[in-house]
Amino acid sequence: MAVLVGKKAPLFEADAVINGEEFVEKFSLDQYIGKKYVVFFFYPLDFTFVCPTELLAFQDKLEEFEKMNVAVVGCSVDSKYSHWAWLNTEKEKGGIKGVTYPLVSDLSKTIAQNFDVLAGEYEYNTEDDEIDFKGDAVAYRGLFLIDKQGVVRHQLINDLPLGRSIDEALRMVDALQCYEEHGEVCPANWHKGDETMKETPEDVADYLGRH
């Protein structure tokens, strides 16, 4: 599993559905650089069991993310038409009607590959002279917090059965923005309003000297 923290988020242009109903082409996270933070998350498939609980939970907290100047963007290996159908299916029938943030279509699976969250890999079969896929051709539950310069500052990868905590995603945004604003670091289990810690140049030099 690649560690993308500290690196530029991989670039892509892809089909997406925005505002719960509108198809767009060449959707890219580049539109947010210099303007917004991004919580970019992957989920395995539309019309499944755990996935709607996560997508609806992100929608429930969307106003909080927006107040923090954060764009929430989801992505799976489904087509834009599958996204649109799911977005227009009532919750009582397993749908996610009411979700308004963008859902990106990664039908080719290249975005999941570039973020290294694809739950399997392509292998060359020398006997048949063909390329086979080993594993599940869907994305793990990956989440990436990207700053306004397009740099990944936090990543979290869950296995397929394990749903994420949206409150934890909010906490990480709070921690990053606190550090950027005050230059102070956030200790374990820190929440907004808790005491932070000052990191002096001497602390950094001492740490580097011991490692």
Alpha-carbon distance 37 to 50, whole Å?
A: 26
Q: Is 75 a catalytic residue?
A: no
Active-site residue, selected from the candidate residues 51, 75, 178, 186: 51
- The full DSSP string for 20-81 is TTEEEEEE-GGGGTTT-EEEEEE-S-SS-SHHHHHHHHHHHTHHHHHHTTEEEEEEESS-HH
Strands 130-139 and 22-27, sheet pairing: unpaired
Alpha-carbon distance 21 to 205, whole Å?
A: 52
**Would you tell me how many other CB atoms lie within 10 Å of the CB of residue 57?**
16
Q: What is the largest CA-CA distance in the chain?
A: 61
Catalytic site positions: 51
